[in-house]
Chains A and B, each alone.
Chain A
Amino acid sequence: MSVIENVSRRRFIIGIAAAGGLVLGVYLVKRSGGRVSPETGGASPSFEPNVFVVIAQDGAVMVVCHRSEMGQQARTSVAQIVADELDADWTRVVVAQAEGDAKYGDQNTDGSRSVRRNFSRLRQAGASARTMLEQAAAGLWAVPVSECHAVNHEVVHGPSDRKVGFGELVEAAAALEPPPVETLKLKDRSEWRYIGKSTPSVDLQELVGGRGIFGIDVQLEGMRVAVIARPPVLFGKPKSVDSSAALAIPGVERVVELPVLEPPAGFKPLGGVAVVATNTWAAIQGRRALRIEWEGGSNASYDSARYREKLLETARRNGRVVRDEGDVERALREAHKTLSAEYYVPLLAQAPMEPPVTTARVADGRAEIWSSTQAPQLTRRLVAEALGVDESNVQVHVTLLGGGFGRKSKPDFAVEAALLSSKVGAPVKVMWTREDDLRNGYPNSVNAQYLEAGIDGQGQTTAWLQRTVFPPIGSTFKYGTKLASSGDLGLGFVDNPFDVPNMRLENGEAEAHVRIGWLRSVANVYHAFATQSFAHELAAAAGRDPKDYLLELIGPSRKIDLAAMGVDYPNYGDPIETYPIDTGRLSNVVRVAAELAEWGRDLPSGRGLGIAVHRSFLAYVATVVEVEVSARGELTIPAAWVAIDAGTVVNPDHVRAQCEGGSVYGLSCALNAEITATGGIIDQENFDTYRVARIGDAPKSITVHIVDSTEPPAGVGEPPTPPFAPALCNAIYEATGKRIRTLPIGDQLRA
């Protein structure tokens, strides 16, 4: 490895030294893709009204983004919100990436929260800075502050038509106290300049030029690369290790055994044997040359095919009741017609294009970490714990993330790097290969569901029984957990929106044999798949149009009060008063999507339209998919339409991009992807066996409609994923009469 120090404080710095308020560097990537010159800062004083805003004397505004960037354009959205209330000139705004630090509030970039949880506080941050600049100008001119207004990077005194640039006010503003939050005057929605506008990504030019620095791109002087042979079975350990052949490979320096993992897995490293080398290729070769005999342990008998039968069997039996209205058993007995079905969704890997990777430099009781992490503060804490140092001695730089999808919320890979750097006495980059990512990951849970419904003489659904069975996320943190938490069940299960008088929802036990994690939209993937597919089955049984029947199932416009039913429903951590379960908004997106797709039009044989709708992360998304299935069972998707109601949106084009990408992610979950295990070992190793959607699989077009709304912002990154698979499978039914109840679709359509 040659000496290329491509990251240093220069790259990730956000550190404006608080004492003295010096601008150590506004060095970051500019909107244009060029760089703000290091000379911008130097020793000149700056104005730093809060942790999100820094203004230099030349007027450059630096917005600090505390959320990780993984393609959802958090960096752009955060800057848009702050710059709007600040009334900054967008061309003079740069975005800096925050380190992991509690002073920013929550940084865990997960759960589609970046905008919805930060919208108000970021607006306040911008407004606070603007108010102080206005106060500084008022002082400068000795006029009432009420006569001074920020307009496009200047403060203007109306009566005398005097103007002063933000930069010139830096010194005076820095001497003022930030105004109390309750006195801040936020802009009226009609005055927004950037919020609600499709501003291009601040990182666009860097990304298309290949200049963006991801976790994998970090290179430090003296850095070694480590590739780790982890136990193929969870909680397994090496029985014997012969590293002689590995050490004989040029470039391989050391072989280091990592501590054996004891349950619960949590976010601890998996253990195993690390090969530390001077370059990546030597480390990969070195690992291949290791001779390790593994002891499998208790999970070595895990076989996913047998396990699936067990899950389905559990779903056929009564489980723990988590929601119960009316008398479902009686209603089923008295029904004109009953229908039952079993649904199954396998373990799914997030498989971000950039596998997990972290570089650590541990020396003299301090650790510096560069990581493509979704969870910078958690990374900081876990590294500190693993090294036995105080958190204040750990610095976590957040790089760009080459996709996250939930995998990079789990900092096990950062802890590995820290442990190895400490052991080796040099900076270490831990590289996960694709095989590592698929075989040693935190897959989204496998799930089986049983559904039974009763229909009356008029075709109306009068009874709905649904059981969901899956090893819960909690099993990763508390060994042996078999029942789902309210958090798991709040992901599209207990919040069933259907207006059915007799409804019972149950959860059965399941034991985990892998580290259960989460993937884009989590349990909503399988809950929406079963619920929305079964709704379509009922429509078919009733001989009704699936879209009309879906709207009837949702019923009249109302706000569903789960608390009144005694259901524990976390509502994605937000108040139900602010973000109710609003069936009116749910029905509306169904109608909008159907209209976009020209629902009801005649289609040639072999074609079909399918629809599904789902509320998740407080947003409402309906998807219509059109499929064509050839006589030989080849599936193509001529088009898809998505209607989203996510309340107030900050950047419409990026919301559209999330709907397009979220749909393709849902397609991947449905089409061919599946994680299976034999003898406790994951069968899939790379993209030849873990088959994700490619361009040829993707819809030929995806049309997105964003519902115009003044409601509070909801999630966007995850909500487009859940409705895609059921809409697709409902379309397949319309085209072929084949009902897909088991994912992946795989070769089920082959004639």
Chain B
Amino acid sequence: MRVKVNGETHEFHGDPNTPLLWYLRDELGLTGTKFGCGAALCGACTVHRDGAAIRSCVTPVVSLGDAEIVTIEGLDTDVEHPVQQAWMELGVPQCGYCQPGQIMQAAALLAQTTDPSDDEIDQAMNGNICRCGTYTRIRSAIRLVKERKP
């Protein structure tokens, strides 16, 4: 089976029902994608599948087909994606553990909706838990990216 991650194609030989999360972390060493719940309840494992945010902890590798997967490591190799820049400017992360998931979720939102309202931001981000409680800065950072959009 072939899996496309961050522009590279990999051969996968393991249990096809393995969640993408564990393939990324254990086999590819892409540990930026985090485990938080294993049940699509917290968003720490969020990656992009053909540009859309998905929870890799409940996505079996076998279901991927030809889809292009992008992880936090592949979002911008120089860590200069507008969402990452806004996150740094406003000092969003505290412990940082959930932030790859938050950033992937926010990047997918902003790619699909150029001008999300505050309610739309909350709706889109509501599946991503942050126990450090960085929510107000997450909102501000998303608004900052939105304001900068051409």
Cβ–Cβ contact B103 & A402, under 8 A: no
CA distance A349 to B95 in the complex (A): 18
B42 within 8 A of A: yes
Cβ–Cβ contact B136 & A699, under 8 A: yes
B37 within 8 A of A: yes
- Please, what's the 1-or-0 string for A655-678, where 1 marks a CB less than 8 Å from any CB in chain B? 001101111110110000000000
B79 within 8 A of A: yes
- Please, what's the 1-or-0 string for A182-217, where 1 marks a CB less than 8 Å from any CB in chain B? 000000000000000000110111111111111011
Q: Which of these, B33, B87, B126, contacts A694 with CB under 8 Å?
A: B126
Q: Which of these, A203, A204, A207, A351, contacts B131 with CB under 8 Å?
A: A351
B101-137: which residues lie under 8 A (CB-CB) from chain A?
A: 103, 118, 121-123, 125-137
B118 neighbours in A (Cβ, 8 Å): 700
Cβ–Cβ contact A661 & B73, under 8 A: no
B19 neighbours in A (Cβ, 8 Å): 281
Cβ–Cβ contact A353 & B31, under 8 A: no
A354 within 8 A of B: yes
Given contacts A695-B139, A702-B136, contact A665 B131 (CB under 8 A): yes
A700 neighbours in B (Cβ, 8 Å): 118, 136, 139
A400 within 8 A of B: yes
Cβ–Cβ contact B42 & A353, under 8 A: yes
Q: Which of these, B39, B79, B87, B95, contacts A400 with CB under 8 Å?
A: B95
Cβ–Cβ contact B133 & A653, under 8 A: no
A698 within 8 A of B: yes
Q: Which of these, A205, A216, A219, contacts B34 with CB under 8 Å?
A: A216
A56-79: which residues lie under 8 A (CB-CB) from chain B?
A: 69-73
B7 neighbours in A (Cβ, 8 Å): none
Q: Which of these, B14, B32, B39, B121, contacts A211 with CB under 8 Å?
A: B32
Among listed A14-22, A414-422, A685-693, interface-contacting one: A685-693
CA distance A702 to B42 in the complex (A): 23
Cβ–Cβ contact B126 & A353, under 8 A: no
Q: Which of these, A210, A433, A663, contacts B100 with CB under 8 Å?
A: A210
Cβ–Cβ contact A284 & B129, under 8 A: no
Q: Which of these, A4, A687, A694, A701, contacts B29 with CB under 8 Å?
A: A4
Cβ–Cβ contact A662 & B97, under 8 A: no
B2 within 8 A of A: no
Q: Which of these, A219, A434, A698, contacts B135 with CB under 8 Å?
A: A698
Q: Which of these, B39, B44, B125, contacts A695 with CB under 8 Å?
A: B125
B66 within 8 A of A: no
Q: Which DSSP category, helix, strand, loop or mixed, fits chain B's interface?
A: loop
Given contacts A208-B103, A281-B19, A660-B133, contact A696 B34 (CB under 8 A): no
Given contacts A71-B96, A400-B95, A433-B38, contact A664 B133 (CB under 8 A): yes
B13-54: which residues lie under 8 A (CB-CB) from chain A?
A: 14-15, 18-19, 22, 25-29, 31-39, 41-42, 44
B35 neighbours in A (Cβ, 8 Å): 216, 280, 354-355, 431
CB distance from B110 to the nearest CB of A (A): 15
Cβ–Cβ contact B31 & A1, under 8 A: no
Given contacts A279-B26, A402-B95, A661-B132, contact A695 B33 (CB under 8 A): no
CA distance A204 to B131 in the complex (A): 18
Cβ–Cβ contact A353 & B136, under 8 A: no
CB distance from A77 to the nearest CB of B (A): 13
B98 neighbours in A (Cβ, 8 Å): 353, 402
Cβ–Cβ contact A403 & B132, under 8 A: yes
CB distance from B109 to the nearest CB of A (A): 12
CA distance A1 to B15 in the complex (A): 12
Q: Which of these, B36, B84, B103, B136, contacts A434 with CB under 8 Å?
A: B36
The chain B residue sitting closest to A703, CB to CB, is B136
A405 within 8 A of B: yes
A33 within 8 A of B: yes
CA distance A73 to B137 in the complex (A): 16
B131 neighbours in A (Cβ, 8 Å): 351-353, 403, 405, 665, 668, 692
Cβ–Cβ contact A400 & B137, under 8 A: no
Instruction: Report how many residues on chain B are interfacial, defined by Cβ distance under 8 Å.
Output: 59
CB distance from B74 to the nearest CB of A (A): 10
CB distance from B59 to the nearest CB of A (A): 12
A525 neighbours in B (Cβ, 8 Å): none
A732 within 8 A of B: no
Cβ–Cβ contact B31 & A205, under 8 A: no
Cβ–Cβ contact B18 & A281, under 8 A: yes
The chain B residue sitting closest to A405, CB to CB, is B131
Given contacts A1-B26, A209-B73, A210-B33, contact A71 B38 (CB under 8 A): no
CA distance A365 to B100 in the complex (A): 38
- Please, what's the 1-or-0 string for B59-98, where 1 marks a CB less than 8 Å from any CB in chain A? 0000000000001110000010000100110011111111
The chain B residue sitting closest to A434, CB to CB, is B37
CA distance A700 to B131 in the complex (A): 17
CA distance A663 to B138 in the complex (A): 15
Cβ–Cβ contact B27 & A201, under 8 A: no
A120 within 8 A of B: no
A282 neighbours in B (Cβ, 8 Å): 15
Cβ–Cβ contact A207 & B26, under 8 A: no
CB distance from B8 to the nearest CB of A (A): 14
A485 within 8 A of B: no
A139 within 8 A of B: no
The chain A residue sitting closest to B118, CB to CB, is A700
Most chain-A Cβ atoms within 10 A of its Cβ — which of B15, B97, B133? B133
CB distance from B41 to the nearest CB of A (A): 4
Given contacts A205-B79, A281-B22, A695-B122, contact A353 B36 (CB under 8 A): yes
A214 neighbours in B (Cβ, 8 Å): 31, 34, 97
Cβ–Cβ contact B136 & A687, under 8 A: no
Q: Which of these, A33, A403, A653, A692, contacts B79 with CB under 8 Å?
A: A33
Given contacts A284-B38, A696-B126, contact A217 B133 (CB under 8 A): no
Cβ–Cβ contact B38 & A661, under 8 A: no
CB distance from B71 to the nearest CB of A (A): 7
A42 within 8 A of B: no
B122 neighbours in A (Cβ, 8 Å): 695-696
A95 within 8 A of B: no
Cβ–Cβ contact B123 & A353, under 8 A: no
A146 within 8 A of B: no
A279 neighbours in B (Cβ, 8 Å): 14, 22, 26-27
A96 within 8 A of B: no
A401 within 8 A of B: yes
A430-447: which residues lie under 8 A (CB-CB) from chain B?
A: 431, 433-434
B84 neighbours in A (Cβ, 8 Å): 208-209
Cβ–Cβ contact A71 & B95, under 8 A: yes
A368-388: which residues lie under 8 A (CB-CB) from chain B?
A: none
Q: Which of these, A201, A208, A352, A698, contacts B133 with CB under 8 Å?
A: A698
CA distance A686 to B129 in the complex (A): 12
CB distance from A518 to the nearest CB of B (A): 16
CB distance from A295 to the nearest CB of B (A): 28
CB distance from A3 to the nearest CB of B (A): 9
Cβ–Cβ contact A686 & B39, under 8 A: yes
A433 neighbours in B (Cβ, 8 Å): 38
Most chain-B Cβ atoms within 10 A of its Cβ — which of A280, A281, A405, A431? A281
CA distance A466 to B116 in the complex (A): 49
Can you show 9 pairs from A to B with CB atoms below 8 A apart? A2-B28, A352-B97, A353-B36, A401-B95, A661-B132, A687-B41, A694-B128, A695-B130, A699-B136
Q: A212-B96, A279-B14 are known contacts; what are 8 more A-B pairs with Cβ within 8 Å?
A: A211-B32, A225-B26, A251-B15, A353-B130, A403-B132, A431-B35, A657-B134, A696-B123
The 5 lowest CB-CB distance pairs between A and B, nearest first, are A210-B32, A664-B133, A402-B97, A71-B95, A71-B94
Q: B residues engaging A (CB < 8 A)?
A: 14-15, 18-19, 22, 25-29, 31-39, 41-42, 44, 71-73, 79, 84, 87-88, 91-100, 103, 118, 121-123, 125-139
